[in-house]
C-alpha cells in the first residue's frame, strides 16, 4: 500500500497569499517557459532515431516539460500528488448522493493507503500527500452567503501554495469533498458564462431529479452573487470551497516556481476557471491529464484549449486520472532522454 504524508493542520501559518493584492499580483505576473530549453529539446527530438514527429504527443510533452523545467532533458524524479479535502455547506440543499461524513471517511482511507489514488500514485512513482482543510467547519451555503470569508479564502489559497516547493518536477492536484461538483459547476457558470445546466452533471451518481435540483441550487447561487465583483478571488471566495481554493493556490504557486502541472478532472480544472477568465495564460504550464465522464469537463477543457492525454471514462476525482496520465509523461521523457541520436547509433538520418 502507498501511504501518503498527511499534512492536515500543516501550513496554517503559511501566508504565500497574505492579501488579495498578493494573489492578484501572482496571477498578473506569471513567468513564461524557457524558450531556449524548449528549442534545445526540439532540436534533440529532431536527432533521435525516428522519423520526425513519429512519437506524436510524446514529443510535445517532452518539449513542454523542458520549457518549464529549463532543461533540454527534463526529468520526473520528484513528482507529487496532493489530495486537498474540504466540506461544503451547500450539501444541505441535497446536491450530492452522499453525506458530508464521507469526506472524513475518505481522508482516513487515503491515510490508510486504501484508496484508488494511493494505488495509482504508487504505480506512477508519485509522492502522495493529503491536506484536509477544516472538515468539521464546512463552507457556508453559497445560495445565501459567500462560501468563505476573505481571510478563509486566503488561508485556503496559501495552504495549497505551501504544498508546492521549488525543485518539484511535476504537480498533480487532486481533491475530495462531497458537494464539490456543485461548487465546480457554479464557478464555471459564474466565470465563463452559460447557464447552470451547461455545467452540471451527475457528480457521484445523482438521478435526473437530483441533477435538476442541483441546477436549481446553482441558479439560485448565481442570482444571489449576480452583482458581486467577477474577479478571480471573489469568484473563488463566493462559490468555491476550501479544497478548490487550495488547488487554485497550488497551481498558481507552481507557476511561480515553474513547476509543470498535470490537471485532473472537472473540479480540479474548475478551480482555475475564474483565473482563466481573467488571465488565460494560467493554463500554459498545465497539461490535461484526462477528460472525465462529468459532462462539464470536456467543455471546460475546450475553453482552456487543452487536449486531454487520456479519455478513460473516469469520474472519481482524487487526482486519479492525472496520476494515470503521469505514466504517459514518464514514457515521453524516457523516449526523449534515453533514445540514441542518429549519430550515436550510426544510423543515417532521414530513414
Nearest alpha carbon to residue 266 among 157, 185, 171: 185
Q: Which residue has the cell 516547493?
A: 165
Q: Which residue has the cell 463566493?
A: 238
Q: Does residue 257 contact residue 166 with C-beta atoms inside 8 Å?
A: yes
3-state secondary structure of 170: strand
User: To 10 degrees, what angle do helices 180-192 and 295-304 make?
Assistant: 40
Q: Does residue 159 contact residue 173 with C-beta atoms inside 8 Å?
A: no
Length of the chain: 351
Q: Which residues, 6 or more positions from 181, have their beta carbon under 8 angstroms from its beta carbon?
A: 96, 200, 201, 203, 204, 266, 267, 294
CA distances for 97 relative to 94, 103, 178, 216, 295, angstroms: 8, 13, 9, 16, 17
3-state secondary structure of 203: coil
127-132 and 79-85 as β-strands: parallel, antiparallel, unpaired?
parallel
Rounded Cα distance, 315 and 158, in Å: 27
Q: Is 318 a catalytic residue?
A: yes
Q: Which residue has the cell 488579495?
A: 20
- Catalytic residue of the set 234, 243, 294, 318: 318
3-state secondary structure of 266: helix
Q: For residue 1, what is its C-alpha cell? A: 500500500
Residues marked as catalytic: 318
Amino acid at each position: 500500500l502507498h501511504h501518503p504524508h498527511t499534512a492536515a493542520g500543516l501550513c496554517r501559518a503559511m501566508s504565500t497569499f497574505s492579501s488579495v493584492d498578493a494573489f492578484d499580483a501572482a496571477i498578473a505576473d506569471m513567468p513564461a517557459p524557457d524558450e531556449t530549453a524548449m528549442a534545445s529539446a526540439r532540436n534533440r527530438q529532431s536527432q533521435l532515431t525516428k522519423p520526425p514527429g513519429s512519437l506524436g504527443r510524446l514529443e510535445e510533452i517532452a518539449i513542454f516539460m523542458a520549457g518549464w523545467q529549463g532543461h533540454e532533458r527534463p526529468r520526473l524524479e520528484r513528482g507529487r500528488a496532493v489530495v486537498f479535502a474540504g466540506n461544503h455547506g451547500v450539501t444541505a440543499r441535497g446536491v450530492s448522493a452522499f453525506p458530508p461524513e464521507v469526506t472524513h471517511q475518505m481522508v482516513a482511507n487515503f491515510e490508510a493507503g486504501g484508496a484508488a489514488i494511493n494505488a495509482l500514485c504508487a504505480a506512477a512513482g508519485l509522492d502522495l500527500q493529503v491536506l484536509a482543510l477544516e472538515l468539521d467547519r464546512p463552507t457556508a451555503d453559497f445560495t445565501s452567503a459567500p462560501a468563505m470569508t476573505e481571510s478563509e479564502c486566503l488561508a485556503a489559497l496559501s495552504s495549497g501554495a505551501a504544498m508546492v516547493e521549488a525543485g518539484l518536477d511535476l504537480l498533480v492536484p487532486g481533491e475530495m469533498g462531497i458537494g464539490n461538483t456543485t461548487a465546480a459547476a457554479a464557478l464555471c457558470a459564474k466565470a465563463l458564462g452559460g447557464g447552470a445546466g451547461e455545467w452540471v452533471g451527475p457528480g457521484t451518481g445523482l438521478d435526473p431529479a437530483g441533477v435538476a435540483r442541483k441546477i436549481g441550487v446553482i441558479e439560485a447561487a448565481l442570482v444571489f452573487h449576480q452583482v458581486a465583483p467577477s474577479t478571480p478571488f471573489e469568484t473563488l471566495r463566493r462559490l468555491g470551497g476550501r479544497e478548490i481554493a487550495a488547488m487554485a493556490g497550488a497551481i498558481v504557486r507552481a507557476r511561480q516556481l515553474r513547476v509543470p502541472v498535470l490537471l485532473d478532472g472537472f473540479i480540479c480544472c474548475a478551480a482555475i476557471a475564474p483565473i482563466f477568465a481573467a488571465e488565460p495564460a494560467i493554463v500554459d504550464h498545465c497539461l490535461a491529464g484526462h477528460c472525465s465522464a462529468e459532462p462539464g469537463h470536456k467543455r471546460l477543457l475546450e475553453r482552456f484549449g487543452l487536449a486531454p492525454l487520456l479519455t478513460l471514462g473516469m469520474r472519481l476525482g482524487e487526482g486519479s486520472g492525472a496520476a494515470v496520465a503521469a505514466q504517459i509523461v514518464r514514457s515521453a521523457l524516457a523516449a526523449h532522454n534515453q533514445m540514441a541520436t542518429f549519430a550515436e547509433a550510426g544510423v543515417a538520418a532521414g530513414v
